[in-house]
Structure 1
Amino acid sequence: MFIRSLKLKNILSFREPPQLELGPLNILIGPNGSGKSNVIACVELLQSLPNSISNYLNTWGGASAWLWKGSARGPTARIQCELVVESADGEKDSENVQYLIEFTSLRHALGISTEWLGDQAGAAFLERFDRSLKISTAAEESSISAAASALEVYRNPSDPTPITRTARALNEIRFYKEFRTGMEADTRMGIASSGPKSPLASTGGNLALVMQEMDFQGSVHKLKDYLRRLSPRFEDIKTRAEGGRSQLYLQERGLGMIPATHLSDGTLKFLCLMAVLLDPSPGPLVCIEEPEIGLHPEALALVGDALREASQRTQLLVTTHSDALVDCFTDEPESIIVCERDLDESTCFRRLSTEQLKEWLEDYTLGDLWRRGEIGGTQR
């Protein structure tokens, strides 16, 4: 588990909701506009810190667009989180660190006012107030740009300081929002054989190479098991290199090899999801938005199994509108986090409880209760 808790204030749809406690598997449900995707966006902002938070914010309208709109004055946005990062030597148990960043919009540009990274006991590795920065290993304070994070400026790949280890872990978070399966997409048409073999690209474009690598590592058998459960006609999955491009093929009973160019959108999206969830070496956190898109409801039971299995190796943050997917977690309601708007129109969170739903679950599935409005997360 990478992010143990997340505390948001004055950012996007979050005025100041209670701290969000995260587990290995976290499935966010709620109506459109409730703030599910905004949780993912805040995590993506954290992931941008070791590279360029300024560039990331500018991609989405600039710093001012990220500030809570319920205040007449431009407020100061705040993200505070507890992270689990690997130890310096990679052999000891992982250690927990606390990270905090505050920023606002200064003449339409990003202005970071506070940044802090330290251990659970409160010992600081870095302390920043406006442009003044103190690093625990440095004798003197230094200055820093108002638009740059200390995790970007002071990370050093050759020196595993807490700053570097935190930056590295944040940088390895993966996001999957939309797999591209159109007629000209690399997912369907293939990709240059020299491309990256891992991890799966956010668009799914290197799917053929990822399948090839899974086959090479001997981990593709799990994928084949899931495909057989999806379709009894399935027999094999292969990749071929032709003209410098790698192409994906499926073989069904009684048929020859079917190229990805003639596979359905749903089949390709299912393969992309399995490539993510069955990855033997996932990042510390994988975020997936609406994995149900394009899939038959019966396939979602397999996605639920794969999510549960993947959560043993990595932390998952998933958004969904699918009651069929939520049904998969009837036996573990704690995996579900309900997102709603409160009276101030701020997003608030509520994790479901087995104990509180015990009697309901004797007669209904979790998806049933969601449709009936018994657990919230609806427009009613």
Structure 2
Amino acid sequence: MLQTVAIRGYRSLRDLVLPLSRLTVVTGANGTGKSSLYRALRLLADCGRGEVIASFAREGGVESALWAGPEHLSGARRTGTAQGGPRTRSVSIELGYASDDFGYLIDLGLPQAKKTAFARDPEVKRELVFAGPVARPAATLVRRVRGLVEVAGDAGRGFDELGRNLPPHRSVLVDFAGATPELVMVRERLRDWRFYDGFRVDSAAPSRRPQVGTRTPVLADDGSDLAAAVQTIVETGTDDLARAVADAFDGASVSVSVTDGLFDVQLHQRGMLRPLRSAEISDGTLRFLLWAAALLSPQPPSLMVLNEPETSLHPDLVRPLATLIDEAARRTQVVVVTHSPTLRECLGAAPLGSDEDAWEIELYKDWGETKVVDQDLLTTPAWDWGKR
């Protein structure tokens, strides 16, 4: 399970270190940084897939994603005016996590090549894989500084070189993943994370079209394999999905039709002479079925991050949705980003730092910086960014 997530220099997340519980509910007013946190987690996951450069490209390049304020805000708070000054560290975006086994840290900076057409692509300046909660030198297992990659030697005898010419656009998690078991575990953990940011339910949405069905234990991010995911859940023999649909839609049931290998979802409603095909199901109903298929995965990912799952759902469906989220959090780790009072109330998360396994974290803005309400030294996890 993840214990800590840390982001520095990304949009409004100037220097944010968050503790995570089994279920973490992130809330706050519009513009406080909830979406930035969600996107930063996606960027971190993309490091395991070797796609972090492409992810920045979709955001307009690394420069557009950098923290735009001064390096230090103490002077701005004192004088009432944001001013620049001499920098004490390099301009960069840093992402990392610590878990109950290994942690990972990546430092992404501006390109140094004098002649390149790819000036908006970040370069990987530094990567670390470490044991324990903090990336201290003694806990470092693998380190990469620019092109040099090293692995900790046996019995504390320094570091052994793995390579020295790793290109700045490549990650050690991709090029050297097979070199050590720790690299494999970190890469596979990041690749396993799943992100659900709403679902398309318009007439051309992928979930409304019959698809070739294959066994699907985890729903795709866009919900395109909904029918296969539903059938996979049904064939596990559990009644969780049937119960969720019946509770949400007055005794309705869901099934999957199979025609020449094409799978399509069907909704059976009381009083209707025939089931509704996916193309006929209402937007809200289809959206709830998508959330149910994601949250009832028979092979849940190690982390599920849900961005405003209540969006465009009827208020009567928020409570059944919360029940699904709560059940998912008993089987895996879940982060929910929401500003719905109803969903927050239904999830019943406790204040940050409590002994409960569900926490609520509220974000707010202070001089453009995203911060956590009531976070202090006791509720801020230990974290060490280190230096290049």
TM-aligned CA deviation for residue 266 of structure 1: 0.7
The CA distance in 2 between the partners of 1:6 and 1:331, in whole Å, is 19
| Contact 1:179–1:272, Cα closer than 8 Å, also in 2 | yes
| Contact 2:218–2:298, Cα closer than 8 Å, also in 1 | no
| Contact 1:301–1:328, Cα closer than 8 Å, also in 2 | yes
TM-score (norm 1): 0.82
The CA distance in 1 between the partners of 2:348 and 2:338, in whole Å, is 15
The one-letter code matched in structure 2 to 1:315 is: Q
Q: Which residue of 1 aligns with 2:263?
A: 246
Q: Which residue of 2 aligns with 1:341?
A: 365
Q: Which residue of 2 aligns with 1:140?
A: 161
Q: Which residue of 2 aligns with 1:22?
A: 20
* Residue 310 of structure 2 corresponds to residue 310 of structure 1: no
Partner of 1:16: helix, strand, or coil?
A: strand
- Distance 1:196-1:60 versus aligned 2 partners, 3 A rule: farther
| Contact 2:194–2:301, Cα closer than 8 Å, also in 1 | yes
The one-letter code matched in structure 2 to 1:112 is: V
TM-aligned CA deviation for residue 129 of structure 1: 1.6
Partner of 1:304: helix, strand, or coil?
A: helix
Aligned residues, how many? 334
Q: Which residue of 2 aligns with 1:181?
A: 201
- Distance 1:298-1:332 versus aligned 2 partners, 3 A rule: farther
TM-score (norm 2): 0.80
TM-aligned CA deviation for residue 196 of structure 1: 5.6
| Contact 1:29–1:336, Cα closer than 8 Å, also in 2 | yes
| Contact 1:337–1:351, Cα closer than 8 Å, also in 2 | no
The match for 1:215 among 216, 221, 234 is 234
TM-aligned CA deviation for residue 217 of structure 1: 1.4
The CA distance in 2 between the partners of 1:217 and 1:285, in whole Å, is 21
The one-letter code matched in structure 1 to 2:275 is: M
Q: Which gives a bigger RCO, structure 1 or 2 (Cα 8 Å, sep 6+)?
A: 2
The CA distance in 2 between the partners of 1:180 and 1:196, in whole Å, is 22
1:230-269 paired onto structure 2 within 5 Å:
230-234=248-252, 236-255=253-272, 256-269=274-287
TM-aligned CA deviation for residue 351 of structure 1: 6.9
Q: Which residue of 2 aligns with 1:369?
A: none
* Residue 54 of structure 2 corresponds to residue 36 of structure 1: no
Residue ranges of structure 2 left out of the alignment (5+ in a row): 71-83, 112-118, 154-158, 353-358, 376-388
The CA distance in 2 between the partners of 1:277 and 1:39, in whole Å, is 21
* Residue 286 of structure 2 corresponds to residue 289 of structure 1: no
TM-aligned CA deviation for residue 243 of structure 1: 4.1
TM-aligned CA deviation for residue 331 of structure 1: 6.5
Partner of 1:293: helix, strand, or coil?
A: coil
TM-aligned CA deviation for residue 35 of structure 1: 0.7
1:74-113 paired onto structure 2 within 5 Å:
75-84=91-100, 96-106=101-111, 107-113=119-125
The one-letter code matched in structure 2 to 1:128 is: R
The one-letter code matched in structure 2 to 1:33 is: G
- Distance 1:148-1:331 versus aligned 2 partners, 3 A rule: closer
Q: Which residue of 2 aligns with 1:54?
A: 53
State the identity %.
Answer: 25
The CA distance in 2 between the partners of 1:108 and 1:299, in whole Å, is 43
TM-aligned CA deviation for residue 116 of structure 1: 1.1
